[in-house]
Amino acid sequence: MSGTLHLLRLAVRTERVAMPVGVLVVPALLLVTAASLAPLYPDSQSRADLAAGAATNPVFRILLGPLRDTSTIGPIAVWRVGLFAMLALTVIVSAAVTRNLRAPEATGRMELVRAAGVGATAPLASAVIVAASTVVTAGVLTGLATLPIGVPAATAAFLGLQFVAAGLAAVGIAVVVDQVVTASRTALTTSAVVLVTAYVVRGVGDSVDGASWLTWLSPLGWAERVDPFGNRTALPALACSVLFAVGVGLAARIAATRDLGSGLIHPRPGAPSARWPISPVGITVRTTGSALAPWMSGAFAYCLLVGVLTDSVDGLVGNSGGTRSLIENLGGGSVDLVGALFDTVLGVVAIAAAAAAVSVVGHLRDDDRRGRAEVVLATAVSPAARLLAAAAVAAVVAALVLVLAAAGLVIGSTIVGGPGPRGVEVAAAAIGQVPPTLAVAAVAFAAYGFGVRWVVVGWIAVVADLLLGPLGPLIGAPAWLRDVAPHAQVPARVGAAIPVAPTIVVSIAAVALVAVGLWALRRRDLT
């Protein structure tokens, strides 16, 4: 444990941005949700209709869990986002563990740290302290955030305990995964898959009659059984705490006996010789493919689920004209409720596709900083060819995310026989989102040309496009400001003609931004 305090200071500095965001995201989401739902369910009758309609739908019980209380808007807001927020918090804290535990080993930085007076389990201790502190703070703030929206103090306390329990269970899982897996990205993906699986198992237990025992097989199910709006019991939280303690103890045991930089599962060595012909595109696909696959599979799974919901969309809306108006406004004012829902979903997925494309630029930056780019550029590959290869891969990935999203919507709607639009119309709307998506991603490529530290501008562009594009009507952004966003110029419209002039403009802008990145790249050093 020697050197734990020094590593703790380093971990706090590393998390100085991510940790406050992780702490504030859940309470902020609850407050925003409560504010947006208040005009939709203003009286007890509208809330009772919700409990008798959408809340009894098996699909919504999988996603949101049971609705226990409709006395005020607070319990409804917690029901709408509580389990999603809990899953998000668990992924955030598992990522924090990996950033401070496995990532330094994967990059070789931990060798320098351990060469000093630092014990074998000190990195584990510092990572656990930071992650656990984040969890406790997020739980406390979440409980406090529900007080002004009509949640009683005792219920708010158990709600905070619920989030703390889920977060501690996630920490216990993540520290063990980081001892087993060698690559940091693989470790993070593995932890996220375990947590999402736990979320799904809990959902099946909530929705299938006679299968409630399944919730006891899931750490998130344990946290849900704290039941702040029902029985209010702390015993399931104790099970999460036991998982946390066992996970930390097991990870400490493994860390003290294994080789530094290795894991219990060693990565397979590559082929002894490269496959010809070797190309920058092939290298980019090989090095980024595993990280981009979750974007595509996630878009398909999410839209498949939305497609399944089309048969129940009227049950979700019920008699609430405000909810119907909100969905139709987000979907561009379409009079067809399902069509408006598809428009909204495709608009959000288009932002996710832009984020997937920007992540390709993030891989370029990481390769530059870790020296892998030097190996590639020492061959007959120019920096410009490498950037163009990355741009080509990013374009294909963005298009695949949108196409798979359209396929998920159509397949899901077909399975339940819902009143969805035709498959050709959905596919055309998805393809129409490719040019504005690439225009957003091109900002990151232009920023990369000026220096690796400017890649963050690409993520800022993604967030700005989300706020001004799909969410622009919801937040009341002025029209002149929304016109800056590519997805506001070319919104998703199922069954409508793709606007030709704006599509050409954003396509030209995308090409011009990549050209700017190439011009700047030729005039700077690699790092």
310 occurs within a structural domain: yes
Enter the tokens of residue 301: 């799974």
Enter the tokens of residue 20: 């406050």
Residues 20 and 92 in one domain: yes
CB atoms within 10 A of CB 352: 21
228, 260, 292 — which closes off a domain? Answer: 260
Considering 10-19, 181-190, 235-244, 423-432, the range whose residues carry the highest mean pLDDT is 235-244
At 259 the pLDDT is 81
Q: Minimum mean pLDDT among 290-299, 427-436, 476-485: which range?
A: 476-485
- Residue 172, classed as helix, strand or coil, is helix
Residues 241 and 320 in one domain: no
At 255 the pLDDT is 87
111 occurs within a structural domain: yes
pLDDT tens digits, one per residue of 134-167: 999 999 999 998 888 888 899 899 999 999 999 9
Q: Is it the case that residue 323 has pLDDT exceeding 60?
A: no
Q: What is the mean pLDDT of residues 82-91?
A: 87
Rg (CA), the chain: 24
372 occurs within a structural domain: yes
Instruction: Find where tokens 């999203």 sit.
Output: 405
- Amino acid residing at 83: L
Q: Over the range 22-42, which residues count as b (16 or more CB within 10 Å of their CB) and which as e?
A: bbebbbebbeebbeebbebbe
- Residue 278, classed as helix, strand or coil, is coil
167 occurs within a structural domain: yes
> Residue 527 in contact with residue 369, Cβ under 8 Å?
yes
Residues 341 and 444 in one domain: yes
274 occurs within a structural domain: no
Residues 293 and 247 in one domain: no
Residues 152 and 224 in one domain: yes
Residues 246 and 296 in one domain: no
28 vs 82: CA distance, rounded Å: 12
209 occurs within a structural domain: yes
Q: Estimate to the nearest angstrom the gap between the alpha carbon of 403 and the chain centroid.
A: 19
Enter the tokens of residue 164: 């703390």
Give the percent of the chain with pLDDT over 90: 26
Residues 157 and 294 in one domain: no
279 vs 380: CA distance, rounded Å: 10
267 occurs within a structural domain: no
pLDDT tens digits, one per residue of 40-78: 777 777 777 777 766 566 666 777 778 777 788 888 888
Residues 63 and 205 in one domain: yes
pTM: 0.74
Residues 243 and 293 in one domain: no
CB atoms within 10 A of CB 153: 10
Residues 231 and 368 in one domain: no
Length of the chain: 527
235 occurs within a structural domain: yes
318 vs 369: CA distance, rounded Å: 53
Residues 41 and 96 in one domain: yes
Enter the tokens of residue 440: 């957003």
Show the domain range for 426.
Answer: 279-527
Residues 223 and 291 in one domain: no
pLDDT tens digits, one per residue of 479-517: 777 788 888 888 888 878 888 898 999 999 999 999 999
Q: What single-letter DSSP state applies at residue 275?
A: P
Instruction: Find where tokens 């809340």 sit.
Output: 55
260, 294, 320 — which closes off a domain? Answer: 260
Number of domains forming the structure of the chain: 2
Residues 303, 305, 309: CA angle, nearest 5 degrees: 110
> Residue 343 in contact with residue 428, Cβ under 8 Å?
no
Q: What is the DSSP string of 365-389?
A: HHHHHHTHHHHHHTSS--HHHHHHH
229, 260, 291 — which closes off a domain? Answer: 260
